[in-house]
Amino acid sequence: MEKLWTTTEVAHCLGIRETDVEQLVKEGKLTGYKLGGQFLRFRPDQVEALKATVKPIEQLDEIEAPVSKDSAFTQCLDFVYYYDFYLVSAVLLAAMVSYLIATR
């Protein structure tokens, strides 16, 4: 499973502001996927295909942070999004084992 990019990562890759990324989604030039109804994520291959058609802004004062420095909260949300099935399975398995040990 490929990692989907955040709005910040797309803005950094394209050399534009995050609001410009949201505008591209509204115009239908870029497909954004909502996670949990609120978090937009983007496929890297679609962003790279759009990169040639978008003109970057010369000075990006707001976008100075490196792409890989997401907040801990964002990283936790990404972790839960990608591994939710495994987390639920582990909790159910632990509950079943606890129940079986308690009934002996």
Same domain, 15 and 29: yes
What's the confidence (pLDDT) of residue 91? Answer: 95
Degrees (nearest 5) of the Cα angle 2, 42, 49? 90
What is the 8-class DSSP label of residue 53? T
What's the confidence (pLDDT) of residue 67? Answer: 53
pLDDT of 99 > 90? The answer is: yes
**Highest mean pLDDT: which range of 13-22, 26-35, 95-104:** 95-104
Same domain, 80 and 62: no
Same domain, 12 and 55: yes
- How do residues 35-58 score in pLDDT, each as one tens digit? 777 768 888 988 988 888 887 775
Element (H, E) at 33: strand 33-35
Give the confidence band of 1 by pLDDT, cuts at 50, 70, 90.
low
Distance CA 47, CA 8 (A): 12
Write down how long the chain is. 104
Match 């972790």 to its residue by tokens.
79
What's the confidence (pLDDT) of residue 60? Answer: 47
Same domain, 86 and 60: no
Same domain, 61 and 76: no
Same domain, 51 and 4: yes
* CB neighbour list of residue 104: distance below 8 Å, 6 or more residues apart: none
